[in-house]
Every structure is written in structure tokens, then in C-alpha cells.
Amino acid sequence: MNIRNWVRFYLHTLLIGIGIGIITGFAVRWDDYKHLFIELNLSEIGMTTIWFMGIGAIFATLSQMGYFAYLTVHRFGLGFFRSLWNPVQVVLIAFVLFDLVYLRYNAFASSGESIWRYVLVALFLFLSGTLIAYLKVRQSNERKTFIPALFFMVCATIIEWVPVLRTNEQDWFYLMLFPLLVCNAYQILSLPRYLERSKKERMELKKRKEQEAIVKS
């Protein structure tokens, strides 16, 4: 990918993160902010929106850092494990989901609390990842992309989500999850389009240089 398309890729991811951050922020904290809309307090609404924009931008940037880290890990995994890389990813997915449930339940569950609330979070993440992985297969027409896409959507999202998982703050729990999830989904589904655009731009640049060389000669 050339620099121009990398900047586009980042900015589009950033805008998506900002948008989801604003929507999620007001949805999660609606009881705290609904009076601002009832009173039409535009200055407070504006300041709160800017706050959520900043949060969304941070999470979008974290998502992109996680995505490029994943691409590096994926290439390393293919080189080291070769044909076993997909089975290794399946094991890692199961391990990370188990830890998401077990560790959080042990750390934060009150006496007598059911484990199902923690299981449902992991199930939601797994089903969301499965949907995106299915769309990735449809996009690429290659079944082998399913496991890597699912691995990224589950494992990378949980790793990026760790700062909030450690504190278990309910509002931040959702405020961070949805921007990460949407930004990760956007990146894994849209990257091929940017790569193709970069390829076409390089070819066009090469043709122009060849034509200029012919004219000069």
C-alpha cells in the first residue's frame, strides 16, 4: 500500500471510530445526558460530543495499530507454523475466549452470581467475529481466509480491549468495545480495496514515466 492510500485507510477508520464513539457514548450514558437534549443545551451537547469524538479517535487509532500488529503476527505464523497455522489460531481463539469468561468471572463476579453474563459477552464477540469472517470469505472467494479473519476479530479485539477488561467499568466496557469491533471489521474487509487502488496507481505512475521517457527520447 502506498502512503496516500495508507493515509486514506487511516482517516476512514478514524472517522468510523469517531462516529461509533459518539453514538455509543450517548447511548451508554443516555440517562446522564438526555436532559441536555430536552433543554437544548447546545454548548454542553457540543462539548460532550467533542469528548466522545476524542475517545472514538483514540480507540480507532488503537484498532489500526492492532491490525498492523496482527498482519505482522500472521506473516510470522505462516512462516513458522506453515500449514499448522490455522489449527494453531483455532486453539488460540478457544483459549482467549475461555480466559475472557473464566478470568473475568473469577475477578469480578459477586458471590452467587451466574457465569452466564460473562459467557454471553464472549458469545457475542465470537458470533460477531464469525459474521465478519463469513463476509471476508464471500469477499475473497477463499475459504482459507475464514480462520485468520475470525482470529483477528476475536483475539485482536480482546487484546485491544484489555485496559477496560481489567477495570470492569460498565460504561467504558461498551464504550470501548463497539468502536474497536466496528473499526476492526472495517479494516479487515476494506484493506483489499486499498491495496488494489495502490496497485492501480503504481501501474498508472509507471505508464506515465514510460511515456515521459519516450517523449524525451
- Return per-residue pLDDT of the chain as tens, 217 residues: 778 888 999 999 999 999 999 999 999 888 888 888 888 888 888 999 999 999 999 999 999 999 999 999 999 999 899 889 999 999 999 999 999 999 889 888 888 788 998 999 999 999 999 999 999 999 988 888 999 999 999 999 999 998 888 887 888 888 999 999 999 999 999 998 888 888 888 887 778 777 777 776 6
Q: CA-to-CA distance for 56 and 19, rounded, in angstroms?
A: 7
Q: What are phi and psi of 37, to 5 degrees?
A: -75, -35
- The domain spans of the chain are 3-216
3-state secondary structure (DSSP) of residue 79: helix
Sequence-separated contacts (24+) of 162-168 with Cβ below 8 Å:
165/100, 165/104, 168/104, 168/107, 168/108
156, three cell numbers: 485482536
What is the reported pTM?
A: 0.89
